[in-house]
């Protein structure tokens, strides 16, 4: 476990991560590597643009949901560095984890921690949406002042636990995905139970259930409101939220379920590629979803590239969009 670097200095088990007799190179997969890396680099730029927009907008950053989106973006961008950029480079070069076990162990710990940190921010965002839409008065105190600061801080110890006190995950270019077992010549026949991280399994399935449940409630609630209030604005908002929910939930379900599944059962390589693309999608899709389905963020980004004179109009559109959401709740 990675915390050993601060105690004994020896954080890699010579038994479970033994690279003796293992070649440092496997088959090079240029196409897959380029796909991973391209998605990662473009998405990091777009994500940074979205975070810059949120942080520099007093209107947006004053709202709890946008603050959660902002902090969610930090582990997302960090994760893309490893699960997209480094994974793409390793695939192109055909590098085995044993090429540099110290490096892959360290990056595996960090990406494992950032994945779980991102998961907790996603849960907070889903919880915030349910509270602000359905129970705005009862739950308002949870997203104000120091209560919100505590909620935003919770993913940090979550990151520390999974990064420093659990087993890491390794990118294996042979299967184009991350595995808990480094699959060296000495460890490839080890029982999967040797590398099981129970908290990881629980986290993934809890995320699937919780997010699906929250967004089902949100979509049902907005649909019910749209029947009662015959407004064109309401129906448009329902469509936007529904599409956003379907996109986020589908990607999270595929990524969370398949990544647990492939740790214990053999799957064809194309399925492991789909699985890893779903993981990359978990971190890379949010900025596109925000831009496509969120007129507030979209208008602010347009302002950066089009006309400075659009500032006032952008502020008014953002406030009007937020007022629509509050009015139907």
Structure-token pair, residue 252: 């999270």
Give residue 327's pLDDT. Answer: 46
Nearest to 238 by CA among 220, 252, 261: 220
**28-32, 37-41, 203-207, 241-245: the lowest-pLDDT one:** 241-245
Q: Which residues contact 319 (CB under 8 A, 6 or more apart)?
A: 59
pLDDT digits (tens, 9 = 90+) for 55-93: 988 888 888 888 988 999 999 999 999 999 999 999 999
- 26-53 burial, b for 16+ CB within 10 Å, e for fewer? beebeebbebbbebbeebbebbebbbeb
Structure-token pair, residue 307: 């006309």
99-102 LR contacts (CB < 8 Å, sep 24+) = 99/24, 99/25, 101/12, 101/17, 101/19, 101/182, 102/12
Query: Model confidence at 325, in pLDDT bands (50, 70, 90)?
Result: very low
- As a whole number of angstroms, the longest Cα–Cα distance in the chain is 70
pLDDT digits (tens, 9 = 90+) for 255-309: 778 888 888 888 888 888 988 998 999 899 989 988 887 787 888 888 777 655 5
Q: Can you give the C-alpha Rg of the chain in angstroms? A: 21
Place of tokens 């070649």: 23
Query: Model confidence at 1, in pLDDT bands (50, 70, 90)?
Result: low
Nearest to 256 by CA among 272, 279, 287, 277: 279
Give residue 306's pLDDT. Answer: 65
| pLDDT (average), residues 217-245 | 64
**Average pLDDT, whole number, for the chain?**
82
Query: Model confidence at 13, in pLDDT bands (50, 70, 90)?
Result: confident
- Domain encompassing residue 211: 2-327
Q: Which residue has the higher pLDDT, 35 or 21?
A: 35
Give residue 59's pLDDT. Answer: 82
Give residue 6's pLDDT. Answer: 57
Structure-token pair, residue 101: 């076990």
Q: Could you tell me the CATH number of the domain that includes residue 84?
A: 1.20.1070.10
Q: How many structural domains comprise the chain?
A: 1
226, pLDDT greater than 70:
no
CA atoms within 13 A on the CB side of 93: 14
Q: Which residues contact 122 (CB under 8 A, 6 or more apart)?
A: 72, 207, 211, 248, 252
Strand partners, 172: 177
């Amino acid at each position: 476990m990675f915390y050993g670097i601060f105690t004994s200095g020896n954080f890699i088990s010579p038994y479970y991560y033994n690279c003796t007799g293992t070649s440092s190179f496997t088959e090079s997969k240029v196409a897959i590597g380029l796909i991973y890396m391209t998605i990662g680099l473009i998405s990091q730029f777009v994500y940074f643009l979205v975070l810059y927009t949120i942080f520099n907008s007093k209107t947006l950053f004053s709202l709890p949901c946008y603050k959660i989106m902002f902090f969610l973006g930090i582990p997302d961008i960090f994760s893309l560095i490893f699960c997209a950029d480094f994974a793409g480079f390793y695939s192109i070069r055909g590098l085995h984890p044993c090429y540099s076990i110290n490096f892959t162990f360290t990056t595996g710990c960090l990406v494992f921690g950032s994945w779980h940190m991102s998961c907790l921010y996603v849960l907070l965002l889903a919880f915030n949406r349910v509270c602000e839409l359905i129970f705005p008065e009862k739950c308002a105190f949870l997203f104000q002042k120091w209560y919100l600061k505590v909620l935003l801080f919770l993913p940090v110890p979550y990151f520390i636990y999974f990064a420093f006190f659990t087993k890491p995950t390794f990118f294996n270019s042979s299967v184009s995905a991350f595995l808990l077992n480094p699959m060296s010549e000495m460890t490839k026949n080890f029982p999967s139970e040797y590398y099981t991280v129970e908290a990881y399994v629980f986290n993934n399935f809890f995320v699937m259930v919780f997010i699906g449940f929250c967004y089902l409630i949100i979509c049902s609630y907005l649909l019910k409101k749209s029947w009662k209030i015959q407004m064109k604005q309401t129906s448009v908002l329902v469509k936007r939220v529904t599409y956003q929910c379907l996109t986020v939930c589908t990607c999270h379900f595929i990524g969370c379920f398949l990544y647990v599944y492939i740790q214990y059962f053999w799957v064809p390589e194309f399925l492991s590629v789909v699985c890893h693309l779903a993981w990359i999608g978990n971190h890379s899709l949010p900025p596109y979803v925000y831009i496509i389905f969120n007129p507030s963020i979209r208008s602010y980004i347009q302002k950066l590239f089009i006309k400075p004179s659009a500032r006032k109009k952008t502020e008014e559109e953002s406030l009007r969009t937020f007022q629509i959401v509050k009015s139907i709740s």
